[in-house]
């Protein structure tokens, strides 16, 4: 493919308006070309930074647009599989917000559709594109902290708006599906391992998990993490080895939650800090996606990787189903 990849967005979601729309517009090798929304007023903020944006009044029209090569899907969770399959059937490359499925088994259809279409489909798991996570992975896997023995993680925010889709079971809401992908997927990304066992204790409200305390065993190390959508905002990941510790202070919302930093706690209580103040993982994600589309190189976060994270989410939800 020559020239930039032309993108369309299905739905004028707040996250697309504030983060991914601007990221697609800013990314090298990408061009934000179209938006699908029935409400013209919702298109106005997108046109403010992308004046030549074409606005379709329905999703099918955008998928039929021959100019569009790639589609970004920020729809509610329960609509992700349906519209990813429709976009693939239309011959589009697809980047879909997490979680791309609500159950691991649904990946069978997505992978089959991706392979049949010969296009790229991926979950929008942006953190693997951030240099802080690539640096953390390199340090852990190079033995900088010695043998890894324990991983801890936490991510929380306070959302008590019952009209919000994160608090609606029918829309695939709940903390684990919204933010569990971070504490699970980041551990898998850094270590390259899958859990041997996993258990969870979960607090439920109206069919939605609001707090989850997870414990797992991996080959050579143990793991515990929690997620909550009813607590003060907080996030952190630590990888604790025999000879040191790696701590990420704004691991999942770098630039919004705080500066992206990787702390390397060395023997003798020395701490070396590497900062990443300028990196935008949303832009980096789009650029990586476009490189894979144009050049055919392997995408850093394929569906097969995302499937493993969804398997952990499924295990945690099943383990904590009795509350």
**Strands 5-10 and 70-73, how do they pair?**
parallel
Between the CA of residue 197 and those of 105, 201, 215, what are the distances in Å?
19, 14, 8
Burial label for 295, CB within 10 Å (0-12, 13-18, 19+), is exposed
98 catalytic, yes or no? yes
At residue 150, φ and ψ (nearest 5 deg) are -155, 145
Q: How far apart are CA 160 and CA 138, in angstroms?
A: 38
Neighbouring residues of 182: CB distance < 8 A, sequence distance ≥ 6:
127, 153, 155, 235, 251, 252
CA dihedral 296, 110, 68, 64 (to 10 degrees): 140
In 3D space, the residue among 26, 102, 34 whose CA is nearest the CA of residue 72 turns out to be 34
Active-site choice (14, 86, 98, 266): 98
Q: How many residues does the chain have?
A: 323
- Provide the token pair at 91: 């011959």
Q: Is the peptide bond before 99 cis (omega within 30 degrees of 0)?
A: yes
Given a contact cutoff of 8 angstroms between Cβ atoms, the answer to whether 38 and 48 are in contact is no
Active site residues: 98
């Amino acid at each position: 493919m020559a020239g930039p990849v032309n993108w369309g967005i299905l739905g004028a979601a707040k996250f697309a308006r504030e983060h991914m729309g601007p990221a697609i517009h800013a990314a090298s090798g990408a061009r934000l070309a179209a938006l699908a929304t029935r409400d013209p007023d919702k298109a106005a903020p997108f046109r403010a930074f992308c004046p030549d944006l074409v606005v379709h009044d329905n999703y099918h029209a955008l998928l039929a647009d021959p100019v569009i090569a790639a589609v970004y899907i920020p729809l509610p969770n329960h609509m992700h599989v349906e519209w990813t399959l429709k976009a693939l059937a239309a011959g589009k490359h697809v980047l879909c917000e997490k979680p791309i499925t609500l159950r691991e088994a649904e990946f069978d259809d997505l992978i089959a559709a991706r392979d049949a279409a010969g296009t790229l489909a991926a979950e929008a798991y942006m953190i693997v594109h951030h240099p802080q996570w690539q640096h953390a992975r390199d340090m852990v896997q190079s033995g900088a902290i010695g043998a890894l023995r324990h991983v801890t993680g936490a991510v929380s925010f306070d959302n008590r708006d019952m009209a919000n889709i994160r608090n609606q079971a029918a829309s695939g809401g709940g903390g684990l599906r919204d933010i569990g992908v971070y504490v699970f997927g980041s551990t898998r990304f850094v270590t390259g391992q899958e859990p041997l066992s996993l258990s969870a204790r979960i607090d439920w409200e109206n069919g939605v998990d609001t707090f989850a305390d997870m414990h797992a065993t991996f080959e050579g190390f143990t793991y515990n993490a929690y997620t909550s959508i009813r607590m003060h905002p907080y996030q952190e990941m630590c990888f604790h080895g025999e000879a040191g510790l790696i701590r990420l202070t704004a691991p999942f919302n770098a630039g919004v939650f705080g500066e992206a930093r990787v702390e390397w706690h060395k023997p003798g209580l020395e701490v070396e800090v590497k900062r990443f103040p300028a990196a935008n993982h949303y832009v980096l994600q789009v650029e990586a996606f476009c490189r894979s589309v144009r050049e055919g190189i392997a995408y850093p976060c394929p569906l097969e990787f995302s499937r493993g994270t969804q398997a952990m989410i499924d295990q945690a939800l099943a383990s904590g189903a009795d509350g």
